[in-house]
Structure 1
């Protein structure tokens, strides 16, 4: 009996060393979670009312428990390196199967899909087209190298001060080539339906009426409608047009592009004393853009950035949590699978519920504490030696008994 008891101690110490060595070997593995060997004592006829004189039969390995403590976040400055700061797992699709991982060293394959080193495709909630995301379904994250399409300008917003003491222009009628026929001018670049840049010029001419001006708009040297009357009250605030909006007639540009339909937003134009000043000229169009890179927010929103200053949302990273992560099935390669013991997958977005945040340009390091593991190694080694010594002692006792009659 004592031999088998000590042998169980040897086996337990060996299992403890196996777990410890596995932890130490993965001390630098991204997203790795260390394990802990847990042991239980052994009694013959356990559960049948053992007396206080019952002698145990040794030890057994009760289980190897995964430790899902947070590892340190190390920054890499690579946009597709992702770390989860807090609870939750990144979700990957391997064909029809889903796996879960804390290792976010990602890249793109030849088709533009964002994958981990094992080829699993990162799962996101797709954009719904209304500045939101469809959290009811998962989709492979794919990065396209296609150009960002242009958008024609539809509105020009102006923040301008017109001098209150201005005189009526000396020359009539208005002539864009004669500076004496208008008071002030400014211009802004606008875009047609093909993304080609056009120049929109605004000309301001004071009338004989107090606080009244004429505004003319020209695109690429062509008049867009006739003069528009704008007027200010005694406080220098715009009073005409009501609401500060002027819808110009459609302007034919030719060259196979749509007519340009502009609205002037003039609510920020004032008439104060002092000089003519342009504080802001804004327009909502843009040209064709080439992708310059990816950006991932702390909420896990993946956006493609383009040379035209636009950002296109590609999806929002799906994080998954479990009621009992320690019950996940170990798949290897720092991946886990859902199991009966883990409970069903609970999906959401970063920062919601108990889910953590996404750190882009960073990786979560292994949570193994090397100092602790080395101390555990020494303890397991001493335990192994003590049990080996017990076997030697038992052998000596047995030899003594066998030699009594000699």
Structure 2
């Protein structure tokens, strides 16, 4: 019985060393695989309890066995690739993908691309899931699904707000009330500027702003669209022809040069009076007449030259797809040739309280298990689950130097157990040769 247990001990040691070498070999073979997480073999002794009056302190173990293969989710190094769909996680989170059979997997491999339908997938065809962003509210919705990158042109957007940040020279002389404002008469206003605005069809128009000093600390703001005057501050019924004189917005300043009128520093520029040079009403161009909210809140009147610090508006024409990118917060934004961007989805990061209990299924994927705990997802801008780096990949976290040292150690263990069996065999042969 003693010799039998001795052989069993040696064989269990050989088996354990072999399994340990298999784990090491698997780590080494995957050392260049993106997002791979190494494993460590854990062993436990095998003990046979003898019931000799309850005394088992003199019993000898029966060898060793593989108790667990533990996954190591330590962060791997990040390498820059430049491809917008190469995504690296710096933190503890996972990407969530949907397999063709509808099941969900978790992965650290961020090698994604677009399939024929412009859906983001990995090399196995699993679809990357994300949370759509509502285009009206800009908020992230709470139902995840595959992410599609539309390459269609962006639709035009009519200008609705404009902003002018400027200083009106307090030293300038007021224009005589007998001089009627006329865009063609340079003597009927003090300063002017212009910007491009857009209607609902994306057609561009030139909007000009004229500033006229009426008296000390009092100015008027006039507007014209493509050379035709439009009302500022009023919303009259649209006439069939453009008036010779449009209504103006009043600007009043304190003695210190601060704007006090209008109270909210915003005017409404009404395009309902706009008529083209050919006498065609604005609505006949195919667009519904719209209004601009004109922000003059940063206008001042100091004793310095007229200067434009900022002039902006929020409309744009239709423009083709130019590319896309994923931010560190996981927001996927489509870029267009006119400089506009559209946030379409947010890539969620998921984690588990016990990720070591996730079930590996190959191809750098894991399945959720009860032992891993509930799925946790972060859609906020905090970095609790990590950050995403676009144009980069996380390398395998295998430490080749440590693995090679462990391989030498496992080899020595295997040799020692082999020697143990040989020694037991030699003793048994000596006994059987006794005469």
TM category (shorter chain) comes to over 0.9
Does structure 2 conserve the Cα–Cα contact (< 8 Å) formed by 1:244 and 1:267? yes
For residues 36-58 of structure 1, what are the alpha-carbon distances to aligned partners after superposition, in whole Å with 9 as ceiling and x for unaligned? 11111112347995622212211
The match for 1:180 is 187
Counterpart among 250, 258, 269 of residue 237 in structure 1: 258
Which sections of structure 2, spanning at least 5 residues, go unmatched? 232-245, 275-281
Does structure 2 conserve the Cα–Cα contact (< 8 Å) formed by 1:24 and 1:373? yes
Distance 1:331 1:351, change over 3 A: farther
The match for 2:163 is 157
Written as runs of structure 1 = structure 2, the 5 A alignment for 1:318-337 is 318-337=348-367
For structure 1, which segment, 229-238 or 60-69, has the greater mean C-alpha deviation from structure 2 after superposition? Answer: 229-238
RMSD of aligned residue pairs (Cα, Å)? 2.0
The match for 2:228 is 222
Distance 1:47 1:127, change over 3 A: farther
Does structure 2 conserve the Cα–Cα contact (< 8 Å) formed by 1:329 and 1:338? yes
**1:347 Cα offset (Å):** 2.1
Written as runs of structure 1 = structure 2, the 5 A alignment for 1:2-401 is 2-45=6-49, 51-94=56-99, 95-128=101-134, 129-135=136-142, 137-169=143-175, 172-207=179-214, 209-225=215-231, 226-228=246-248, 229-251=250-272, 252=274, 253=282, 254-349=284-379, 352=382, 354-401=384-431
TM-score by length of 2: 0.87
Distance 1:86 1:231, change over 3 A: same
The CA distance in 2 between the partners of 1:249 and 1:389, in whole Å, is: 97
Q: Secondary structure at the match of 1:162?
A: strand
The CA distance in 1 between the partners of 2:410 and 2:222, in whole Å, is: 88
Q: Secondary structure at the match of 1:304?
A: strand
Does structure 1 conserve the Cα–Cα contact (< 8 Å) formed by 2:222 and 2:247? yes
Does structure 2 conserve the Cα–Cα contact (< 8 Å) formed by 1:39 and 1:63? yes
For structure 1, which segment, 164-173 or 387-396, has the greater mean C-alpha deviation from structure 2 after superposition? Answer: 164-173
The CA distance in 1 between the partners of 2:230 and 2:301, in whole Å, is: 24
**1:372 Cα offset (Å):** 0.7
The CA distance in 2 between the partners of 1:350 and 1:158, in whole Å, is: 34
**1:101 Cα offset (Å):** 0.5
User: What is the number of residues matched between the two proteins?
Assistant: 403
TM-score by length of 1: 0.93
Which sections of structure 1, spanning at least 5 residues, go unmatched? none
